[in-house]
Amino acid sequence: MNAEELTGRARTHLGELPELPCSLHAQAIVPFGSLRREARAAGFDLHPWSAFRDFERQLAIWNAKYAGERPVDGADGRPLDVARLQPAERIAAILRWSALPGASRHHWGTDIDLIDRDAIPPGYRVQLVPEEFAAGGPFARLSAWLEEHAARFGFFRPFRGVRSGVQAEPWHFSFAPLAEPARRALSPALLHETLAAAAMSGREIVLARLDELHARYVAAIDWP
């Protein structure tokens, strides 16, 4: 992937999934299709809740969270009042669950948030919270199945709440053969260049601490 693809500013690496409303890296489509067919045979309707996300979309999410216009949860999953947080605290709170613009793994088209559509109760609103994938949650069976079978198709969970500053995201899977080279290629220098011209809230604080933030929230994942 080139610099624009790595930072979500281009779509030239993507392919479309005609039966699903999402885009993935062109080389991840066949492996994901195989994983989805295997899941279907096991009784799951494996559905991408989120796949490729471009820079502008990630920037809009970031700015809305920074301004308190979108919910920002604490480590315990409870909503925070961001207006009561200092800028550095606000940035840390956002990064627990949301990536910096230009640094989202979803930019690469290699990462996908997965649910089982067959398991959604009538009228239920999917929230993508860990409780949904834990025992008793609607996606607990899918979570256990993916834990056992996803690696056979090249997919793994990059955020298990162990090495990274990102909270555990049991719904988030990454296609390792493409995502690992992308992770290594997304340097602090490239991210700095991308963010320096962006209309991002808290930009100056982020840029001043970028090496630290990159190490904790971009480079550090639960791999291998």
Counting beta carbons within 10 angstroms of the beta carbon of residue 69, is it exposed (0 to 12), middle (13 to 18) or buried (19 or more)?
exposed
For 98, half-sphere exposure in the C-beta direction (CA atoms, 13 angstrom radius) is 23
In degrees, to the nearest 5, what angle opens at C-alpha 119 toward C-alphas 118 and 121? 110
Fold of 3-219: Muramoyl-pentapeptide Carboxypeptidase; domain 2 (3.30.1380)
C-alpha span between 209 and 203 (Å, rounded): 10
Q: What is the pLDDT of residues 11-57, one digit of tens each?
A: 999 999 878 888 999 999 999 999 999 999 999 999 999 999 999 99
Any idea where the domains of the chain sit in the sequence? 3-219
State yes or no: pLDDT of 110 exceeds 80.
yes
- pTM for the predicted model, two decimal places: 0.95
Sign of CA dihedral 144, 147, 149, 150: positive
C-alpha span between 158 and 138 (Å, rounded): 22
Other CB atoms within 10 A of residue 213 CB:
22
Other CB atoms within 10 A of residue 38 CB:
16
Across the range 142-151, mean pLDDT stands at 98
Q: What is the pLDDT of residues 65-78, one digit of tens each?
A: 999 999 998 888 78
Across the range 94-110, mean pLDDT stands at 97
Smallest CA-to-CA distance from 152 within 118, 178, 176 is with 176
Q: State percent of the chain over pLDDT 90.
A: 92
Strand partners of residue 197:
none
Mean pLDDT of the chain, nearest integer: 95
Across the range 88-100, mean pLDDT stands at 95
C-alpha span between 13 and 92 (Å, rounded): 31
Q: What's the pLDDT at 7?
A: 98
C-alpha span between 164 and 170 (Å, rounded): 14
Q: What's the pLDDT at 106?
A: 98
Q: At what angle do helices 55-66 and 87-95 cross, to 10 degrees?
A: 130
Smallest CA-to-CA distance from 102 within 214, 216, 222 is with 214
Find where tokens 């392919």 sit.
15
